[in-house]
Amino acid sequence: MKKRNLIYLLLSLCLLTGCYNLEKRENVLKIYNWADYIDSSVLDEFVEYYKACTGEDIRIIYQTFDINEVMYTRIEKGNEDFDLVCPSDYIIERMLKKEMLLPIDTVFENTKNYLGNVAPYTREQLDLFIGGEHSASNYAVCYMWGTTGILYNTALVPREEAITWDCLWDPKYAGKILMKDSYREAYGTAIIYANKRNIEEGKVTVEELMNDFSPKAMRLAEKLLKDLRPNIAGWESDFGKEQMAKGRVCINMTWSGDAVWAIEEAAAIGVDLDYVVPIEGGNIWFDGWVIPKYAKNPKAASYFINFICRPDIALRNMEAIGYVSAIATPEILAAKIDTTLEYYSDLRYFFGEDAGSVQVNNVQYPDKAVVNRCALTRDFGDQTEEMLEIWARVKEDSLGLGITIVIFVVFFASTWWVIRKRYKHYKRSRRYHYGDQRRMKRK
């Protein structure tokens, strides 16, 4: 080897090993969160905060998902080494049952502990999963929470129709509805819709219905969800709010935080949207930070969770994304009071005794009466696979009216184009053929 090449080789090796030493895994925090679910400046600020608290450098690798099951599969099957992920309640329950989580550290040297800012209400909800010393709140800290309901265009859908799940199955909204691509919501909604009368008569509760995974209930849900297909313009995980804001569809079964975003965006361009949790009842959900067992940096993960529980950080996140933080300190309540609102809500369940009648956005913070008609979805357990198959069958063939029309138009246009081309070619070759024959005869 020439002397010069040897020098290059040695230099590259030095550079490579140098890079390795620069970036130790304990200086990296890998976060996997829902898309559009944090104020990105909070991530930058955490880097400074961590340095101030521990004297250590940290670099954040941040990835996002749109569907719980996609995230779950990457952890369970892919054993990926995320330090922090943000699943929804029923997935937290599944991860706990499968012992996929590490307990969250609650002792922070020289740093204030902010975990106590989390509303006892949200902690109690997560603790419904597992009691005793393995209570879920040792493994999960609620981040954002909300309801699932109907976001509707008030110019196109009367409120009396939007306040019941019936509107989703109403043929007059054919091709005009977007649904969340989330079987948890869709399943519960279908079963509740089918049992409207039974709920009214007090024969069954919303919680029992949403968590009825019997073969009979599953067959019924599949049928009802397939019946819904003519009405579905698409199954969305993030584009519904934009389509609603632009007035392209008139109903979106969606999450409260997306509704808040859409209502604000739409108002800016003169489209009036509203959101309601239908009278029959529906889903209340909680997303929480957990540290998977394959995490390589649980220390930084715990610090991050603590940081996120600071009221000023919680407010910034809420402001950026429209969802509602689990933090329930007096400064959050004070910041959320809006005296221009014409209604008052009972939010004692969340903020404590002083919040019996407060002017706070009721899409974000549902009144106690709304919470009373909602329930948490539980893990489907062994029936998860079957549920996913049902979900795949429901979504197949249901491309939505718009897409179906586009496919037909493209298909016919290209077939017509091919036929025309062939015909022209045929005519041209015939002309040459007869021309040749005529020329030969003349000779």
Contact 319, 40 (CB under 8 A): no
* Closer by beta carbon to ligand N2P, 278 or else 322: 322
Give the residue nearest to ligand N2P (CB).
34
Closest distance of CB 127 from ligand N2P, Å: 19
Residue 100's CB is within 10 A of a number of other CB atoms, namely 21
Contact residues toward ligand N2P (CB under 6 A) are 34-37, 88, 238, 255, 257, 285, 287
Residue 276's CB is within 10 A of a number of other CB atoms, namely 19
Closest distance of CB 23 from ligand N2P, Å: 30
Closest distance of CB 68 from ligand N2P, Å: 8
Closest distance of CB 354 from ligand N2P, Å: 28
Dihedrals phi, psi of 337, to nearest 5 degrees: -65, 130
* Closer by beta carbon to ligand N2P, 238 or else 346: 238
What is the DSSP secondary structure assignment for residue 105, as one 8-state letter? P
Closest distance of CB 334 from ligand N2P, Å: 25
Locate 355 and state its tokens: 């919040």
Question: Residues near 322 by Cβ (< 8 Å), separated by ≥ 6?
Answer: 257, 258, 259, 260, 261, 264, 364
What is the DSSP secondary structure assignment for residue 27, as one 8-state letter? G
What is the DSSP secondary structure assignment for residue 110, as one 8-state letter? T
DSSP helix/strand/coil, 65: strand
Q: Which helix (H) or strand (E) holds 325?
A: strand 324-325
* Closer by beta carbon to ligand N2P, 30 or else 180: 180
Contact 331, 117 (CB under 8 A): no
Question: Residues near 333 by Cβ (< 8 Å), separated by ≥ 6?
Answer: 347, 351, 354, 355, 358, 360
Closest distance of CB 240 from ligand N2P, Å: 10
* Closer by beta carbon to ligand N2P, 46 or else 285: 285
- Say how far apart CA 295 and CA 317 lie, in whole Å: 24
Which residues are registered as beta bridge partners of 285? 146
Closest distance of CB 153 from ligand N2P, Å: 21
* Closer by beta carbon to ligand N2P, 72 or else 173: 72
Task: Using alpha carbons, list the distances in angstroms from residue 410 to 404, 420, 424.
Answer: 10, 15, 21
* Closer by beta carbon to ligand N2P, 157 or else 314: 314
What is the DSSP secondary structure assignment for residue 111, as one 8-state letter? S
* Closer by beta carbon to ligand N2P, 297 or else 325: 325
* Closer by beta carbon to ligand N2P, 49 or else 365: 365
Query: In this structure, are strands 251-255 and 140-153 parallel, antiparallel, or unpaired?
Result: antiparallel
Closest distance of CB 34 from ligand N2P, Å: 4
- Say how far apart CA 252 and CA 422 lie, in whole Å: 46
* Closer by beta carbon to ligand N2P, 150 or else 199: 150
* Closer by beta carbon to ligand N2P, 58 or else 126: 126
Locate 208 and state its tokens: 């029992």
Dihedrals phi, psi of 440, to nearest 5 degrees: -65, -40
Residue 131's CB is within 10 A of a number of other CB atoms, namely 9
Locate 434 and state its tokens: 């007869």
Contact 399, 407 (CB under 8 A): yes
Contact 387, 380 (CB under 8 A): yes
* Closer by beta carbon to ligand N2P, 38 or else 305: 38
Closest distance of CB 238 from ligand N2P, Å: 6
Closest distance of CB 346 from ligand N2P, Å: 24
- Say how far apart CA 242 and CA 35 lie, in whole Å: 14
Closest distance of CB 285 from ligand N2P, Å: 6
